[in-house]
Amino acid sequence: MNDVDRARLEAVALPSRKVAAREDIIREGEVPENVNLVLEGIACRYKVLPNGRRAIVAFLLPGDFCDLHVAILDHMDHTIGALTPCTIAEIPRTTIEDLTANWPRIARALWWATLVDEGILREWLVNMGQRPSDRKLAHLFCELQARLALVGLATENEFPLPLTQEELGDTLGLSTVHVNRVLQQMREDGLIRLQGRTVSIPDLARLKEFGEFNPNYLHRNNKHDGAHHSAAGALLPGLRRR
Amino acid sequence: MNDVDRARLEAVALPSRKVAAREDIIREGEVPENVNLVLEGIACRYKVLPNGRRAIVAFLLPGDFCDLHVAILDHMDHTIGALTPCTIAEIPRTTIEDLTANWPRIARALWWATLVDEGILREWLVNMGQRPSDRKLAHLFCELQARLALVGLATENEFPLPLTQEELGDTLGLSTVHVNRVLQQMREDGLIRLQGRTVSIPDLARLKEFGEFNPNYLHRNNKHDGAHHSAAGALLPGLRRR
DNA sequence: CGCCGCCTTGACCACCATCAAGTGGAGTGG
DNA sequence: CCACTCCACTTGATGGTGGTCAAGGCGGCG
């Protein structure tokens, strides 16, 4: 993706809109006319089970597309909700279809974005299935630190975590009570500290070791997006400027 | 994808090769020169953890691409291994790059395939995190029935399951012992029957109900692939003929 | 001030892992 | 044809991780 492509993509976005925390952005089954892109805030993909429990299957950070799916697939197979207040850019679905048909480099950049999403999902699946709860949390924190750092929202030893313990539980398949206890233990062990809504990490290497975190699945060296690290990440400055 | 596109894609495949059961097709970290496509047999994506346990994160059935990733991303972030003897078609990576750059409809069909994979991953994540082991198995069986039926390898009440209980455990994050006990219970309850390497389902609706299976995430109505249901599924007859 | 989310703590117990041993069938070689 | 081996499946006993239920603390906001 070069500057011309980037300009082309910026040009097609509709004015951004605000979404309050805990409000849905798109619901399962819908066939929305626009594709959504997170500019600010944290959103999540989730499904609700028959027993009422919510399963969070992805976090959407600034620069992430919510639903490129609907430009290609027919309907949403899950819901997207804002975890914090969010600013969302909308791009008409027809525009995406036009871009992918006529601008191969943009098509590749978008495809790249979905492949990275897929890599993250595979890693979450491993995390979910095979690790004890303390390592699950450690792994998740490492990923959040890495991904937030890519868009300038985290440092080597600190990142904002505007999630409740219940939301962490919905993400990792743990009960709220157990998340609470595990977090306390991790604090005692000096793996993390929690002050207000930010996590600080005394020793990132140690946390990575403990959480068996290997960032290769994030594919941070994106050759299709120049210096930037996510297809839309490249657009953030331009889109925010409006 | 129309007939011209399909012919174009068929034309670029190299002669197929055979892979023995339990042999790897591509390993984590590799940057292969060809993209692989399963023609016959069942393969899986997996990662190995520091403690030696294997996590299976996807099944690859006939018609599924193994590693479109490497045409776009840089390296494999997981390994692909054959679970049964497999026949694999190879397509040069450069050809994929050429196709995606110059044949938008093919590019979209491939992108579509990765989006469906992503949908399956999300559903696996839900399954993994939120359901008790018997429902996990039920859900997995329903998915296998549905996906195998799409390529003509399953009927409404029977499908081949050439997997060991250990492999099922690696997939669902359960111990072999526990998989065994749960399967027995499911047989007692009349949810499934196992004879040799095939599963038969007395009452598919009941199994779906029990496993909370909703096939919407498989996106079986693919408008980008004409009558067929997977990008490569459309190619299977042509490629097998060689 | 009072309410409502969110976090915290305790008691109890179930699901599922682990360890260990044993069964049975398929393939192999004497 | 019959040992022998190997691998998948099976069964039992035991214990820990993490779920559930219930109650209490605590800070923010109207």
Instruction: State pLDDT tens for residues B4-30.
Output: 666 766 677 778 899 999 999 999 999
pLDDT at residue A124, rounded to an integer: 98
Asked if B224's CB is within 8 angstroms of A72's CB, the reply is: yes
Cβ-based contacts of B96 with chain A (< 8 Å): none
φ, ψ for residue A103, nearest 5 deg = -125, 80
SS3 of residue B87 by DSSP: strand
Asked if B118's CB is within 8 angstroms of A121's CB, the reply is: yes
B175 touches strand D (CB under 7 A): no
**Which of A111, A172, A217 is facing B114, going by the closest CB pair?**
A111
Q: Which residues in chain A come in under a pLDDT of 50?
A: 226-229, 242
Asked if B129's CB is within 8 angstroms of A216's CB, the reply is: no
Tell me the shortest Cα–Cα distance from B170 to chain A, in angstroms: 9
Share of chain B above pLDDT 70, in %: 87
Through-space separation of residue A78 CA and nucleotide D10 C1' in angstroms:
40
State the DSSP string of chain A: --HHHHHHHHHTPEEEEEE-TT-EEE-TT---SEEEEEEES-EEEEEE-TTS-EEEEEEE-TT-BS-THHHHSSS-SSEEEESS-EEEEEEEHHHHHHHHHH-HHHHHHHHHHHHHHHHHHHHHHHHHHHS-HHHHHHHHHHHHHHHHHHTTS-BTTEEE----HHHHHHHHT--HHHHHHHHHHHHHTTS-EEETTEEE-S-HHHHHHHHT--GGGG----TTSTT-SSTTGGGHHHHHT-
Tokens of A113: 């974005």
The answer to which of A64-73, B15-24, B115-124, B132-141 has the lowest mean pLDDT is: A64-73
Through-space separation of residue A138 CA and nucleotide D5 C1' in angstroms:
45
- Would you tell me how many other CB atoms lie within 10 Å of the CB of residue A19? 20
Quick one: closest CA in A to B173, which residue?
A129
Torsion of CA B6, B11, B12, B14, to 10 degrees: 120
Tell me the shortest Cα–Cα distance from B168 to chain A, in angstroms: 12
Cβ-based contacts of B128 with chain A (< 8 Å): 125, 128-129, 173
pLDDT at residue A168, rounded to an integer: 98
Asked if A72's CB is within 8 angstroms of B125's CB, the reply is: no
**What pTM, to 2 d.p., does this model score?**
0.93
Flag whether pLDDT at B2 surpasses 80: no
Q: How many A-B residue pairs are in contact by the CB < 8 A criterion? A: 146
pLDDT, tens only, B225-237: 544 445 555 555 5
Asked if B173's CB is within 8 angstroms of A130's CB, the reply is: yes
